[in-house]
């Protein structure tokens, strides 16, 4: 088994209310940052999972997305295989974008 | 003036309590995902700002980081210049990591 690090970039779907983004923008404007045109706030979830290989690690995380981590009606996500800590925790691979979607 | 899109990847500092990460890990374990070794939950803030050039856009966002967006005692961040919407909103450049830090 090896240890894989996958990063989920989860964003509000375009057109869906983004209260955190709106509140952040208002606060920045009140602080005098007039140049701000748009703000979106999403989540970045970094997961370390044990799996026989990268595709199995990805399959497991996609199941976690389906069951818990992403709300498909309001969020979309992109998954990235970050450097692979490998068996003894030493970093090895580069970042690879694996896919995106809501489910 | 042009319009620039910058992305802030904000993470809990290593060693600092990450309640969201801990709660997410517990929930995944309770759902039967025994392979999960670690979970960290951070923010991804996408900002669109108007500025004469990219370095001015970056300077403004670093000031927003200092004043509001990142808590240096508990969070660290990495800033990325995403594709540059440019004057008429058409995507142009590639992603460039600009820097990291707490402040």
Instruction: ipTM value, please give it.
Output: 0.81
Q: Which domains does chain A have, with CATH numbers?
A: 2-101 (3.30.1280.10)
User: Residue A88: what pLDDT?
Assistant: 41
| Dmax (CA) of chain B | 52
User: B82 falls in which pLDDT band (50, 70, 90)?
Assistant: confident
SS3 call for B88: coil
A-chain CB neighbours of B69 within 8 Å are 24
Residue A28 touches chain B, beta carbons under 8 Å: yes
Mutation target vs A (from B64, B85, B97; most A CBs, 10 A cutoff): B64
At B59-78, the pLDDT tens digits run 999 999 999 999 999 999 99
Q: How many angstroms separate the CA of residue B33 from the nearest CA in chain A?
A: 8
Q: Which residues pair with B51 in a beta bridge?
A: B2
Residues of chain B with Cβ-Cβ distance to A11 below 8 Å are 44, 46
Q: Are A41 and B9 in contact (CB under 8 A)?
A: no
Q: Taking CB atoms and an 8 Å limit, are A69 and B24 in contact across chains?
A: yes
């Amino acid at each position: 088994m090896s240890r894989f690090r996958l990063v989920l970039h989860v964003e509000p779907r375009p057109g869906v209310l983004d209260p955190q983004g709106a509140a952040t923008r208002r606060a920045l404007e009140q602080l005098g940052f007039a140049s701000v045109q748009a703000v979106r706030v999403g989540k970045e979830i970094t997961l370390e999972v044990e799996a026989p290989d990268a595709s199995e690690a990805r399959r497991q995380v996609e199941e976690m997305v389906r069951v818990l981590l992403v709300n498909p009606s309001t969020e979309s996500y992109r998954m990235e295989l970050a450097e692979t800590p490998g068996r003894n925790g030493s970093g090895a691979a580069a970042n690879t974008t694996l896919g995106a979607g809501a489910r």
